[in-house]
A and B are shown apart, each in its own frame.
Chain A
Amino acid sequence: SYELTQPPSVSVSPGQTASITCSGDKLGDKYACWYQQKPGQSPVLVIYQDTKRPSGIPERFSGSNSGNTATLTISGTQAMDEAVYYCQAWDSSAVVFGGGTKLTVL
Chain B
Amino acid sequence: QVQLVESGGGVVQPGRSLRLSCAASGFTFSSYAMHWVRQAPGKGLEWVALIAYDGNNKYYADSVKGRFAISRDNSKNTLYLQMNSLRADDTAVYYCARSGGSEILAWGQGTLVTVSS
Q: Which residues of A contact B (CB under 8 A)?
A: 1, 30-31, 33, 35, 37, 42-45, 48-49, 54, 84, 86, 88-90, 93-100
Contact at B59–A49, with CB atoms within 8 Å? no
Q: A33-B103, A94-B59 are in contact. List 7 more A-B contacts (CB 8 A).
A: A31-B103, A33-B102, A35-B45, A45-B105, A48-B100, A48-B103, A100-B44
Tell me, rounded to whole Å, the shortest Cβ–Cβ distance linking A94 to chain B.
6
B44 touches A42 (CB 8 A): no
Partner of A97, one of B45, B102, B105, B110: B45
- Rounded to whole Å, the gap between the CB of B23 and the closest CB of chain A is 15
How far is A31 from B62 in the complex, measured between Cα atoms in Å?
22
| Contact status B46-A97, CB under 8 Å | yes
Q: Does B13 contact A (CB under 8 A)?
A: no
**A44 proximity list for chain B (CB < 8 A):** 107
The answer for the CA separation of A45 and B104 in the assembled complex, in Å, is 7
> Chain B: how many interface residues by the 8 Å CB criterion?
21
Q: Which residues of B contact A37 (CB under 8 A)?
A: 45
Alpha-carbon separation in the docked complex, A89 to B95 (Å): 18
Residue of B nearest to A1 (CB): B62
Please tell me if B88 contacts chain A, counting CB pairs below 8 Å. Answer: no
B35-52 contact mask (Cβ, 8 Å, vs A): 1 or 0: 101000000111100100
**B93 (CB) vs chain A CBs: closest residue:** A42
A43 and B105 alpha carbons, distance in the complex (Å)? 10
Q: Mark B74-117, 1 if CB is under 8 A from A, else 0.
A: 00000000000000000000010000111111011110000000
User: A42, A93, A100: which contacts B107 (Cβ < 8 A)?
Assistant: A42
